Each structure stands twice: as C-alpha cells, then as structure tokens.
Structure 1
Amino acid sequence: MGILVRGGTVLGIDQATSDLPRGDVLVEDGRISEVSERIDAPGAEVLDATGMLVLPGFVDTHRHTWQAVFRGIGADWTFPEYRSAMHGTVRPHCRPEDVYIGTLLGRVEALQSGITTLLDWCHCTDTPEHGDAALDALLDAPGRSVFCYGAGIGTPDPAAAELARMRDRVPGDDGLVTMAAGVRGPLLTDLDTTAADVTTARELGLRVSVHVHVLAGEADRPVAAMAGRGLLDDRTTFVHGNGLADDELAMMADAGCSVSISPDVELKMGFGWPETGRMLAAGIRPTLSIDDCPSAGGDMFSTMRTALSVQRGLDTAQGVPPSLTARDVLEFATLDGARAVGLGDRVGSITPGKQADLVLLRTDDLTLFPANHPIGAIVSAAHPGLVDTVLVAGKIVKRGGELIGVDLDALRERALRSRARIAAAAGIPLDGSWSIQHF
C-alpha cells in the first residue's frame, strides 16, 4: 500500500531534485518511489504534511553516545578537563549495562530530534562485553546507526581480533545497523599501530574514522604522517581537523577523505575555530556532528546554527565574502553526512530509489512561522520541538510529536539508576558542584 506524504514543502537536497513549495512524496516498500507536485496513490496511508517542511533525516557523523546519562555536566569543560573527567573518572566505573543504557538513551534522543542516521563512535570499549553492549543498544533502538567500534582505545594492543569479532556480530551491510572502525590514530598511538588498525579495517571492509587536531603551539602533522604510510582514501573520515596545515587539507582532498566537524564542542573545549571554511576552500564538503552530550546539545539544529554563524563571522572578520549558505549547512547535515558514513546511495536526500528517511517539521509554531525561506528557517530558527513525524526506511517511528514503540518512562528510570550507580562509585556529586577540582 505504501505511504503518501501529502502537501508539504519538500526540500529534496539532491541537486537533481527540485524543491517543491507544495509537493507529495510516495513511499513504497521502504523506499521513495515518486516525488511530485501531486501524486495519486489509491490505498496508500496518507500523512498530511500541510504546513510542514519535508526534509531528509539528519546524519550525525560522530557521537560518543554512551555518555548520554551525564548530559550537561561538561558545559564549562576544556578538552583536558573532559578527557580527565569522562575517561579518567567516569569510564572506569561504567559497566557493560551502563554502556547499553547510555547508548540507548542517546540514540533515542537523537532520533526524536530528527537524526535518522547516527555514527556512534564508541570508545568505552574496555572489555568485549562493553562493545557488545553498545552494539546491542543500537540494534534495539529505532533508527539507522553506524557502530563505529573504537577497539584498543587507551592501549597499544592490536585491535584486529576484536574488530573481526564485532564485524561478525553486525548483521550485514544492508540493515539499519552497519559498522565502521574507530581507529586510534597518530594522536593516541604510534604510527605502526595506526597502520595496523587501518589495514585491519580495510581487510574487513570497514570505513575508518579517526580523531585529528593540532592545538595552538603544537607542531604535529597527523594527516601527513598517515598519508606518508598510504593510509588515506575515500573511506577515511577525519574528526575535527582543527589546526591542520594547508598541505594536509590538500592531502585529504586529493585522497577523497571526508571530515566531521563538531562546532559547539570545538569552540567550547579550546580546539580552535571550526575549520568549515578552510575545508570548503580545500575542496572538502564538511559534515556535522554533536560529539558528546556532557558538553553540547544533542540536536542537529543548534549544531547547524553554530556552524553557519561562526563561519560567516570568521569570513567577515577576514574581510572576505561569505563562504557558505544555509543550504550548504543543511547539505552538510544530510547528504554530505550520508556520503561520509558510506550511505550516500541509500539516504541523505529525497530522491526516488533511496530509502525513505524523512522528517516532517511543523511551521505553525511562532519560532518558525512564517517560514518564508524554508531552508534558512530550519538552519536559523528550528528546534527539536518542531519535529512532528520521522520515518526511517519507510517506517514511521515518530508521529504527532510522539515516538512510537519506545517506553520513555522506563528508559528514563533505567538511565537515572545507571547515573546514580556510576556517580556513587566515582565519587561524583550530582548537585551541580562537580568541577575541575574533582578531577
């Protein structure tokens, strides 16, 4: 029978698909079969999108989802403070069941705000059971997820066996949960270990995601080091990229690498200015990520807003014309993100033949009404409370502002129990007084 999304403003994102001020989208067998001003589909279930914006689901290309139960505590942290707190104080007390509930909570929260695809960069993998728990949470959660397994994090030990074991656990490459390798990279280990990790990932058919940044005063050249060993290709995503040299950006572009920028966290934690404009100038289409919810909000709307405002401010300060538009930023958060996680042929735009990952966004709320410039309105003024309906692979997972099939009360209760146990074990106060003096 299918689903007919009727009468919304359709933002296709794909350059080959025109935006429609009033359009219909027909979904059959989980895929977009037709996009037109008017579609006649007798027998299809009708979703009335009158007064709504219809857009592709957002793609978050990098999030440490297990940390969701400690949302907000790191709003004032620098990067060294975050590393000490979350990895030095919290992580040692996280049991596999804590990783499960944190990952489930974070994934559901992301879905509720319209993030239909999320790359979970899991670095709470101290035992095989921790990795299993994170994957189980993604399999149990509604939504499309990329399990980016950070095997060997914090050690120089070979990661091949664990990556291979987890690869066997991921049910193929065509399902809603796929897999990538979160490699340690030159900032966390030596180059031989990095090369071994990348080689293992390639042998297993996995894309690679690796954190790189160079703080002020440092002389590291992590991308050049990897390029010198032949470790760059179009299956490589660099996370952050702050402070990289111009020739390293050229190396990334030449190899077809992608980049995941976390504007809120990078600004707050002292990484430096987000490198959105420099990536564009080098020929790389950036993608966007939330990174971690102890320090930043978990929705793509605020992330897009920060990315646009900061880069346009930098352009003005440098006396150059604006280097990006609201449409660019929405593409970063949808189609460019889908390409970076290896799903560009599957999702990221409202294109016939792709799977139907869709978001219906209300425009009657006064924060968005009237949405005179729909894409500008999304990037500059929208928020999670406007997400009315979400589809993933043609299945309705949120409708009328309510998630379907998720017991939020039970989820909240489990999350609170997990947080309380970890906090007690780690000696963390939960009255808002936890600060740098505690780590």
Structure 2
Amino acid sequence: MTSLLLRNGLVIDTVPAPAVLGHADVLIEDDRITAVGPERQAPPGTEVIDATGHIVVPGFVDTHRHTWQAGIRAILPDSTLPAYVDRVIRDLAPRYRPDDVYTGTLAGALECLDSGVTTLVDWSHIQLGPGHTDAAVAALRASGVRAVFAYCYGADDDLGALAAETTRVRREYFDTPGGTVTMSMAAAGPEIAGEERALLEWRLARDLALPVTTHMGGYGAESAARGLAFLDANGLMEHPTMYVHANFYTGETFERIAAHGGTVSVAPGIEAALDIGPPPTGRARAAGVPTGLGADTVVSGPGDMFSVMRAAYFLERGRPDGAGLRFTAADALRMATIEGAEAAGLADVTGSLTPGKKADVLVLRTDTLGVAAAHDPIAAVVLAADTRNVDTVLVGGRAVKRGGALQGHDVPSLLTSLTASAGRLTAA
C-alpha cells in the first residue's frame, strides 16, 4: 500500500455544500481518500506534501467537452451555432485522421488536467471509423484523466452499423469494470438525428448498460418540447440521461426530468457566445436537477473550469429583474465539483473529499497577485484563481501535475504534433 499526506492545507470540501474546513490534512492510501482532519497520523513511509499556504479542494468535473477539438482552438470566435455546425462538423471534422484524433484528444485531456479538471465527460462525435475510436480511447487512457468516453457513432446513417459498432466498442474497450475511463452513449437524439435513430440509441444504451448524454433542449422551444415528448412517449426518460444545452426547457420540464432521475450539463460560456440561449442554470437547479458545468468547445471559448465557473456565476446573477441574485460563488463551485459528479453519474467516485472516494484532489497556490489576501477562500477559487494557481493535481492519488508542471508527458513534442495536425486540418 502506498500513502500520501497533504499536510496543513486550507481545505474546502463540497458535501453537502461547499464549506471551508480550515487548515487540515488529507490522507490518501493507494487511490482513495482515507481521512481528512487536523494533524492526521500517517503510516510509516508516507510521502508528505506540505500544503501550507495552499488551498486543497476536490478536482473539477467537466460534464461536457468535445476534447478532440484542441487542434482547432479559437478558429471560430464571435460566431453562432449554425456557423459552428457548418465550419466544424461539416467542413473540418471529415478531414480528421485517427492520428489527428489522438493528438487533439490527448492535448485536450492534458489541458483539463493542467487547469484542475480531474474528471471529464468527453462527448466524442469524431467517430468516423474504428481507427478514430481506437485513437480517442488510447489518448484518454494515456493522459491520466478520469473520463467518461461518450461515444457518438458518426461514420454514416446506417442504423445497423451504428448498433454493431457501438456494441463492439462497449465489449472491446469497456467490458472489464474499473479503470479511469468508462463509457456512455453520446446520443445524437431526436432533435438532431431524428426519432428513428434516437429510439435505437436509447434502447441500445439500455441493452449495453450505458448511461446517455445528449444534446437536447437547445434548438428552440418547440423542438425542445417535441423531443422530450418523444422520449416520454417511448418510455425513454427513465433511462439515466444527461441533457446538454437544455436552454429552452421550462421549470415544469425540469421537474419532470428530476422526477425521472435525469441530469443537466450547462456550458454557460458557449451557450452565450454561440447564441444557443440563456443558460438554464437557475431553473434546472431550482427544480432539483443535478446540474454540472462544461467547457464544451475551445473552438469558440475557453477550456479551463475557472473561466466556466465565472461565466456561470455572472450570467446567472445577471438574469433580468434580479432572478439569479441568490446564486453564489459556492453554488458555482458545487456545480464544478460534486454536482458535476452527480450529473455525470460519478458522485460515488469523485467530486468531494469524502473518505472512501477516489483521491481526485487539487492543491492551489495562493501566493499570486490575483489571489493573495483573498478573504473568502471559496470566492478566491471561483472568482480569482486561474490555471497558474494549479500547483498539484491528483487523479486516484497519482500526481499528474506537481509543482506547476504536468508529469509523465513530453508536452513540447505533443504541442509540435498538435501544431502540425492543426496546419493540415485547416489548410485550404
């Protein structure tokens, strides 16, 4: 057994709500947190990391990201959703080879770890063939991030091939329980791909014991109502489903989602930037729906959770007539940690410092001009910190970032490969 002690950090936990526990130790044995409290006794041979002057907080959970797009970062600012579909999905995506998928996914996953995102739902709709899938899964596993590989078949419109290939991926890569990378069904859904495909996707997910994550609710009020009515009429709402971009759902709709055990992922920056609609943060949470945050795409927005938390915070508090003024910095931190884990179906694994959970932990510096002398530690994390403050990142007790540097990866070589891939993909 290996053991690690984070000594004397200013600890923030998130269950049942974000709270500052004060200066304490976090004891980790093998891949799990075993104790949190002042002056914890550690077994002989325990490695000690002095966290004095640092904030210790659970790792962030990104509930929705198209990780493969790291090589086309900032290619589409000041844009709209239809323009994104035209440029990225119809124009650039078909140019991707498996090696582009590997490079982009690895770079995107390491970007997550570098900024304190320890858990990622990778909505991977670049599955143009088995080689692309091989590359995406290999990159996630190589990165060291905890990930849900959300598989979206994209080779053609053959529903028989969709069923066969999804089944193959499930059995070939994810038949053995455990590991840091698991699988879900990224369903194109009734609003994007039509009802026949949606029916197959949800039934296939049921048969393969996969949760579903789907883009639904972000294409206008009429489409949102029609799509959810289809799921309801076919008995599909009972299946574990995370609804992404649920911007046009009403409070009553969110109550129905909550009653069926559904969850929501909000990408506040992208939803505002691409004019998808006002983020539904407050409405979803008020109805009791576990609601997580996602960066979505670096094509049109930032990729770090600090920026995403701030987008959620300011957009919610800026709702008309003060409707969002009860939303707090602690709410934003909760969405980025334990509530995101709930939304992703991983609340028993990560999202808090609860003993018994996997040791996905951040150690944040406070000796920078942007954070020093912050009076509220939770507000410091949400409103003041950035990637520069991420000193140490643990995933399952393993240091993937230490002393401000990523561990175990040749980042300069990866960036060279990413630049070459980007140049080929975007060449006229």
How does the TM-score come out when normalised to structure 1?
Answer: 0.93
Residue 111 of structure 2 corresponds to which residue in structure 1? 109
Moved more, 33-42 or 100-109: 33-42
Q: 1:368 aligns with which of 355, 360, 371?
A: 371
In structure 1, how many angstroms separate the alpha carbons of the residues matched to 2:223 and 2:92? 31
Conserved? CA contact 1:170–1:177, under 8 Å: no
Show CA shifts across 1:85-125 (max 9, x none): 00111011111111111101100111110000111100011
In structure 1, how many angstroms separate the alpha carbons of the residues matched to 2:45 and 2:278? 52
Moved more, 334-343 or 165-174: 165-174
Letter paired with 1:303: V
Structure 1 residues 217, 59: CA separation in 2 closer, same or farther (over 3 Å shift)?
closer
Residue 437 of structure 1 corresponds to which residue in structure 2? none
Conserved? CA contact 1:144–1:392, under 8 Å: yes
SS of aligned partner of 1:243: coil
Show CA shifts across 1:247-281 (max 9, x none): 32222111010000000000010111100011122
Identical pairs, percent = 42
Residue 268 of structure 2 is aligned to residue 263 of structure 1: yes
Letter paired with 2:39: R
In structure 1, how many angstroms separate the alpha carbons of the residues matched to 2:106 and 2:311? 26
Letter paired with 2:181: V
Residue 182 of structure 2 is aligned to residue 163 of structure 1: no
Letter paired with 2:244: V
Residue 433 of structure 1 corresponds to which residue in structure 2? none
Aligned residues: 423
SS of aligned partner of 2:247: coil
Which runs of structure 2 are paired with 1:190-209 in the superposition (5 Å)? 190-209=194-213
Residue 388 of structure 2 corresponds to which residue in structure 1? 385
Structure 1 residues 213, 3: CA separation in 2 closer, same or farther (over 3 Å shift)?
same
Residue 242 of structure 2 is aligned to residue 240 of structure 1: no
Letter paired with 1:405: G
Superposition RMSD on alpha carbons, in Å?
1.7
Q: 1:77 aligns with which of 66, 73, 79?
A: 79
Q: 1:288 aligns with which of 287, 293, 301?
A: 293
1:241 Cα deviation after fit: 0.3
SS of aligned partner of 1:53: strand
Letter paired with 1:402: A
In structure 2, how many angstroms separate the alpha carbons of the residues matched to 1:54 and 1:342? 23
Moved more, 375-384 or 323-332: 323-332
1:75 Cα deviation after fit: 1.6
Letter paired with 1:223: L
SS of aligned partner of 1:5: strand
In structure 2, how many angstroms separate the alpha carbons of the residues matched to 1:353 and 1:141? 24
Letter paired with 2:206: R
Residue 3 of structure 2 corresponds to which residue in structure 1? 2
Residue 228 of structure 2 is aligned to residue 226 of structure 1: no
Letter paired with 2:12: L
Residue 19 of structure 1 corresponds to which residue in structure 2? 20
In structure 2, how many angstroms separate the alpha carbons of the residues matched to 1:217 and 1:37? 52
How does the TM-score come out when normalised to structure 2?
Answer: 0.95
Which runs of structure 2 are paired with 1:91-170 in the superposition (5 Å)? 91-152=93-154, 155=157, 157-158=159-160, 159-170=162-173
In structure 2, how many angstroms separate the alpha carbons of the residues matched to 1:296 and 1:16? 28
In structure 2, how many angstroms separate the alpha carbons of the residues matched to 1:18 and 1:240? 29
1:134 Cα deviation after fit: 0.9
Structure 1 residues 101, 371: CA separation in 2 closer, same or farther (over 3 Å shift)?
same
In structure 2, how many angstroms separate the alpha carbons of the residues matched to 1:117 and 1:220? 28
Q: 2:217 aligns with which of 213, 220, 224?
A: 213
Residue 272 of structure 1 corresponds to which residue in structure 2? 277
Which runs of structure 2 are paired with 1:294-333 in the superposition (5 Å)? 294-314=299-319, 317-320=320-323, 322-333=325-336
Structure 1 residues 58, 17: CA separation in 2 closer, same or farther (over 3 Å shift)?
closer
SS of aligned partner of 2:126: coil
Show CA shifts across 1:46-67 (max 9, x none): 1111111101110101111111
Conserved? CA contact 1:61–1:287, under 8 Å: yes
In structure 1, how many angstroms separate the alpha carbons of the residues matched to 2:257 and 2:73? 33
Conserved? CA contact 1:152–1:184, under 8 Å: no
SS of aligned partner of 1:116: strand
Residue 424 of structure 2 is aligned to residue 421 of structure 1: yes
1:152 Cα deviation after fit: 4.0
1:33 Cα deviation after fit: 0.7
Conserved? CA contact 1:20–1:37, under 8 Å: no
Residue 434 of structure 1 corresponds to which residue in structure 2? none
SS of aligned partner of 1:346: coil
Conserved? CA contact 1:153–1:184, under 8 Å: no
Residue 402 of structure 2 corresponds to which residue in structure 1? 399
1:154 Cα deviation after fit: 6.2
Residue 173 of structure 1 corresponds to which residue in structure 2? 177
Conserved? CA contact 1:234–1:258, under 8 Å: no
SS of aligned partner of 2:413: helix
Letter paired with 2:113: L
Gaps in structure 2 of 5+ consecutive residues:
none
SS of aligned partner of 2:191: coil
Conserved? CA contact 1:213–1:243, under 8 Å: yes
Letter paired with 1:389: T
1:218 Cα deviation after fit: 4.5
SS of aligned partner of 1:19: strand
Conserved? CA contact 1:78–1:269, under 8 Å: yes
Residue 57 of structure 1 corresponds to which residue in structure 2? 59
SS of aligned partner of 1:187: helix
In structure 2, how many angstroms separate the alpha carbons of the residues matched to 1:154 and 1:63? 22
SS of aligned partner of 1:307: helix
